Structure 1
Amino acid sequence: MTIELLLLLLALGAFVGVMAGLLGIGGGLIVVPALLFLLPISGIENEISMHIALATSLASIIVTSGSSAWNHLRLDNVDMFVIKWLMPGVVVGGFVGANLAEWIPTHYLPKVFGIIVLFLALQMLISIKRESQKTMPSNGVTMMYGAGIGVISSLAGIGGGSLSVPFLNRHGVEMRKAVGSSSVCGCVIAISGMIGFIIHGYNVENLPDYSVGYVYLPALAAIASTSMLTTRIGARLASSLPTAVLKKIFALFLIFVAGTMLL
């Protein structure tokens, strides 16, 4: 790894940390596209770069979302009742998504990623002008939603904030609580998904040195070392900004990422 690449990854981690604390995302929406651009520069083959990007993103999310969740817990931005019923589903879904990724052709994964994110961006923009009056669904239905969030998140290498924040906010959870609760779920999704990618990448040939399965440890260390330091900045911003502003930032960010992946 060159000094230039290391500095880029450290800067990436710092930015990811702020966005994780602010929006309740694990950072995969930023890390996956960035690694897809940076990994080939470091000599990693295109055939395996997507799986390495997904796995390394999930591994970094464990640190980023864990740090973000801790800061949100301190600020009382987490709804523990919601966490209780989403958690079982996201654990199972995260592992299933990592297994599905192994069967989907590599060149389709960025497109699947982009379409999912674009849909969520449009949904968030629509919700800005109206406050949801829905209540949370039954416990069983909430667990099934959690499973779906886990599958898609692991498949896309994200922590699930782009899925769980709109879901929770649509069902009456205040935006700050949705962001904080999403951080907790994102950490659990990432652990489950990362384990799946490690198992499936264990005997793959041509992986770069210092890899554990598909997880590329040098990139993980660089991103995680700065992201865990900057999540507190984003968490404090999330606690001070109005809900409508948070939604606009979230939606515009999603549109940018979707456009990057689709084009």
Structure 2
Amino acid sequence: MDQLIELVPTLLPMALWLVGAGVAAGIMAGLLGVGGGIVMVPVMATIFQLMGISPDILMHIAVATSLAVIVPTGISSARSHAKRGAVSRDLLVLWAPAMVVASFLGGLSAGFYSAFTLRIVFGVMAFFIAINSIVPLQKMLMGGLSNSPITHRVSATFIGYISSLMGIGGGSLSVPTMTVLGTPVHTAVGTSSALGVFIAFPAVIGFVISGWNVADLPALSVGYVSIPAMAMLAIGAILFAPVGAMIAHKLSATLLKRVLAVYLLIVGTRMIIQALFG
């Protein structure tokens, strides 16, 4: 008990950072249709590093825990969008099955990837998402593709797998993909919130399996998922996801997307530097 009391001054700031990251993630989930992992993964990676968790597994824990938080966040955000009629059942039927399989395989295979690989994947994709939010890069790459079921399913498979390795709900990739293929932006955002659950839940199962017998995991972990970190992040994320959804239907997100782009460029750069130079 005395040791726990002595740790409070150290653990309390970290807990507050996690709750704050959850608040930011929840608002972002509802506002931009992303799962919030873009915020949560870098914050957790930094906190776990400060806590002395092995650098070989801290990215795996950050990614898996972020995905675990996205499950309730995505449900909360999707319900808010569904009440406004912004979730397309037709798109869910096209996208969800491919995403479930791809994200589960992503979580399951994550144990074979090094922390270096996960950082590079996150950093490179953060750069792509940042540029794509300012310049219609994805539109230029996909503009010639037909709005066919196979195009949707291939896109869903790629996004599901990459998102599971990044610890994100996939909205930053699926929303622009859907809009390029002709979906109205509000419908794309709302549907993406629901699809985040179809990415996160099977990916979490994969991460639990792949991390089940890994050594040096922090206390109260289930596979690669840190239950204490998940709980602290979820407090803010679940409460504030509906707030973001409400704002999304009232305000233009252009300025916020540019701010997000700058943030992603910074985070992506930091991830790549850490991967290359430790």
**TM-score, structure 1 as length reference:** 0.91
Alignment match, 1:61: 70
- What are the superposed Cα offsets for residues 126-153 of structure 1, whole Å, 9 maximum, x if unpaired? 239x999878622233112111111000
Q: Does 1:34 align with 2:43?
A: yes
- What are the superposed Cα offsets for residues 196-226 of structure 1, whole Å, 9 maximum, x if unpaired? 0000111111111111011000000010012
Alignment match, 2:23: 14
Question: 1:99 deviation in Å?
Answer: 2.7
Alignment match, 2:157: 147
> Do the aligned partners of 1:203 and 1:213 also contact (CA within 8 Å) in 2?
yes
> Do the aligned partners of 1:98 and 1:154 also contact (CA within 8 Å) in 2?
yes
State the AA in 1 paired with 2:135.
Answer: I
Alignment match, 1:203: 213
> Do the aligned partners of 1:26 and 1:64 also contact (CA within 8 Å) in 2?
yes
Which of 160, 164, 169 is residue 179 of structure 2 equivalent to?
Answer: 169
> Do the aligned partners of 2:102 and 2:161 also contact (CA within 8 Å) in 1?
yes
SS at match of 2:150: helix
Structure 2, unmatched stretches of 5+, are 1-6, 274-278
Which of 80, 101, 104 is residue 95 of structure 1 equivalent to?
Answer: 104
Alignment match, 1:117: 126
Q: Call closer, same or farther: CA 1:169–1:260 in 2, change over 3 Å.
A: farther
> Do the aligned partners of 1:117 and 1:162 also contact (CA within 8 Å) in 2?
no
> Do the aligned partners of 1:135 and 1:172 also contact (CA within 8 Å) in 2?
no
Aligned residues: 262
Q: Call closer, same or farther: CA 1:135–1:243 in 2, change over 3 Å.
A: farther
Which of 225, 241, 245 is residue 251 of structure 2 equivalent to?
Answer: 241
* Cα distance between partner residues in 2 of 1:245 and 1:19: 13
Larger-gyration structure (1/2): 2
> Do the aligned partners of 1:30 and 1:257 also contact (CA within 8 Å) in 2?
no
SS at match of 2:56: helix
> Do the aligned partners of 2:30 and 2:242 also contact (CA within 8 Å) in 1?
yes
SS at match of 1:46: coil
Question: 1:58 deviation in Å?
Answer: 0.6
Q: Superposed, which structure 2 residues align to 1:126-141 within 5 Å?
A: 126-127=135-136, 137-141=147-151
> Do the aligned partners of 1:55 and 1:157 also contact (CA within 8 Å) in 2?
yes
Measured on the aligned residues, the alpha-carbon RMSD in Å equals 2.3
> Do the aligned partners of 1:136 and 1:172 also contact (CA within 8 Å) in 2?
no
> Do the aligned partners of 2:37 and 2:66 also contact (CA within 8 Å) in 1?
yes
Which of 255, 267, 271 is residue 261 of structure 1 equivalent to?
Answer: 271
> Do the aligned partners of 2:111 and 2:211 also contact (CA within 8 Å) in 1?
no
> Do the aligned partners of 2:164 and 2:199 also contact (CA within 8 Å) in 1?
yes
**TM-score, structure 2 as length reference:** 0.87
SS at match of 2:49: helix
Alignment match, 2:189: 179
Question: 1:100 deviation in Å?
Answer: 2.9
Structure 1, unmatched stretches of 5+, are none
State the AA in 2 paired with 1:217.
Answer: I
Identity among equivalent pairs (%): 39
Alignment match, 2:83: 74
